[in-house]
Amino acid sequence: MIRCFQWLSLGLLIALTACQQMGISSQNELDSVDYQTAKQRLKEGDMDGALTGFLRVIDQLNAAPESHLEAGVIYLRHRNQPIRAIYHFQRYLEYNPENRESPLVQELIMSAEKRFITQLHGDPFKERLERLDIIETVAKLREDNERMGAELTQLKTQNAHLKEDLGKAQQLLGQVFEEETGEVVSGPDTRVVASTNVTTQNQEDIQTLLESSTNTNLVTQYKVVPGDTLYAISIKMYGDASHIQRIFQNNRQILSSVDDLRPGQILTIPR
C-alpha cells in the first residue's frame, strides 16, 4: 500500500514538473531575446532575419508555439514553401489545440495545401477542369439549340396563320368582285380586285377582316422560368387567370398539357 502511494506521488510530481516546464518554456519564448529580435525584424520587413530568429527560438526551447506560427506564416506568404508552412502550423496546434487562434491556423493549413496542389508538376487537375468546361459548353449549346428550335416552330406557326388569313382575304375579295362585276375570279387572280370599284360596305368588310388578321398575329414571347405555371403567366401577361387555355392552345406545338412547362421554353403569348 505504501509502495503504491509512493509511485502515485512520484507520478504526480513528474506531471507537475512537466507542466511547470511547459509554462516556463512558453514564457521564456515570449521573453527571449531571439524572439523579440525576430518580431522586430518582422516589423521592419526583414523576412529572412525574422525567420532565422524564430527558427533559433524553436531550436532552443522545447515548446515554442508562437515561433512555429510566425515561421509558418513566413514560409507560406513570403517563401512560397507550403509544405514547411504546414509543418509549423501543425506544431503550433499540437501545443495549443484549444487556442482561440486555432481555427485561423486550420484555415492557413488548408490554404497551404491548396497552394501545394497547384505547384504539382504537370497540373494533374487541368484535364478534369477542361472536361468540366466542355460539359458546360455542351449544355449551353444544347439549351441554345432547343431555344432556336422552339422559335423556329413558332415562326412556322405564325407563317401558317398568315397564309390562312391571306387565303380568307383573297376569297372575300373574289366574292366582292363577283358581286360587283358578275365575273368569277379564283385563285391568285383575286389580286385584280384591288383595282376595281367596290361598295363602301364591302370595303369596310375587307378592312375589318384584314385588321382582325393583323391583330390575331400580334404576339409576344415569354421565356419560362423555374416555378412558372400557365396560371401565373396568365396573370403576369394579362392581369388575370382567364387566359390559361388561350396560351395553351397557342403553344400546342411545344406543350402537351397545361402542366407541361419546362424552364427555358419560349411561349408565344397572343395579345
20-29, 122-131, 261-270: which is most confident: 261-270
Q: State the residue for C-alpha cell 382582325.
A: 212
Residue 246 three-state SS? helix
Write the CA distances from 251 to 12, 89, 187, integer angstroms: 86, 64, 31
For 214-252, write each residue's pLDDT tens digit.
Answer: 444 567 889 999 989 998 898 888 888 888 999 999 899
Contact 42, 66 (CB under 8 A): no
- Architecture per CATH, domain 218-271, reads as Roll (3.10)
- CA distance linking residue 151 with residue 142, whole number of Å: 14
pLDDT for 141: 80
Q: State the residue for C-alpha cell 517563401.
A: 79
Evaluate if pTM is beyond 0.85.
Answer: no
Contact 265, 224 (CB under 8 A): yes
- CA distance linking residue 84 with residue 78, whole number of Å: 12
CATH 3.10.350.10 domain locations along the chain: 218-271
- CA distance linking residue 23 with residue 29, whole number of Å: 10
- The number of C-alpha atoms within 13 Å of 265 and in the hemisphere containing its C-beta is 22
- Nearest 5°: phi and psi at 221? -105, 145
For 136-192, write each residue's pLDDT tens digit.
Answer: 777 778 777 778 878 888 888 888 888 888 888 878 877 776 776 666 555 544 444
Strand 219-223 with 266-270, pairing: antiparallel
Name the CATH superfamily housing domain 18-118.
Answer: Tetratricopeptide repeat domain (1.25.40.10)
pLDDT for 87: 94
For 17-74, write each residue's pLDDT tens digit.
Answer: 444 444 434 558 988 999 999 999 999 999 999 999 999 999 998 889 999 999 999 9
Helix/strand/coil percent split, the chain, to 5: 75, 5, 25
Contact 158, 219 (CB under 8 A): yes
- Nearest 5°: phi and psi at 122? 85, -5
Maximum Cα–Cα distance across the chain = 140
- Which residue type does 129 have? L
Q: Which residues contact 164 (CB under 8 A, 6 or more apart)?
A: none
